[in-house]
Amino acid sequence: MGGRSGIFAGDDPFKIAKRWLQKAEKTELNDPNAIALSTVDDLGMPNVRMVLLKEIDTNSFVFYTNYGSCKARELDNARRAAFVLHWKSLRRQIRVRGLVGREEGAVADEYFNSRSLKSRLGAWASRQSEPLSSRKVLLAEVARIGALYGQSPPRPSFWGGYRVTPIEIEFWADGRFRLHDRFVWRRATPNDEWLTQRLSP
């Protein structure tokens, strides 16, 4: 195991990731669950943007978005993605590469209904990544949706979640003199056992 102990201890990388995120929730000033999500388009040109990670379960990482967005189109086409969680307050980061699938059932419904009313109306009103003539037009659409659905807008069919099921997870912690600690977990497929290695900084 290359001397994994302390903050790196454990046999389950998802439990380690949850532990690090819980620690960051106490120390990071804003959005400790923010991830820089990387996708590629049909030509292989990369794209990266910040999104909010909403769940770490027993085998995947989950976030939500508009299925008509640029990121969603790239996720659906490539079925692969990478992201990084980085916490300046802890001087730690987690890098993930994996396979992507949609989460659009009861779990997505439950999360959508847990959001504030304004966020739910905004999800309906926004045609994410499409040209917008003015903010006034967007706010008018929010008002129209509010009048239509009132206090209980359902989850739109064009909005839901994505699960990133990793084949690689790297845990990184800052070290003195830039001698950082890095441990990577790899598996060929989501059904295989993890192999772990210490990496040079």
- What amino acid positions are annotated as catalytic residues? 178
Please count the residues of the chain: 201
Name the region of 25 (left: φ>0; alpha: ψ -120 to 50; beta: rest): alpha
Q: Residue 178: which region, alpha, beta or left (left: phi > 0; alpha: psi -120 to 50)?
A: left
Cα separation of the two ends of the chain: 16
Q: Tell me the backbone φ, ψ of residue 14, rounded to 5 degrees.
A: -70, -35
The encoded tokens of residue 166 equal 């990793």
Owner of token pair 């008509």: 68
- Cβ neighbours of 170 (radius 10 Å): 19
Give helix 135-149 / helix 117-125 axis angle, nearest 10°: 120
Q: Distance (Å, rounded) from C-alpha 158 to C-alpha 5?
A: 44
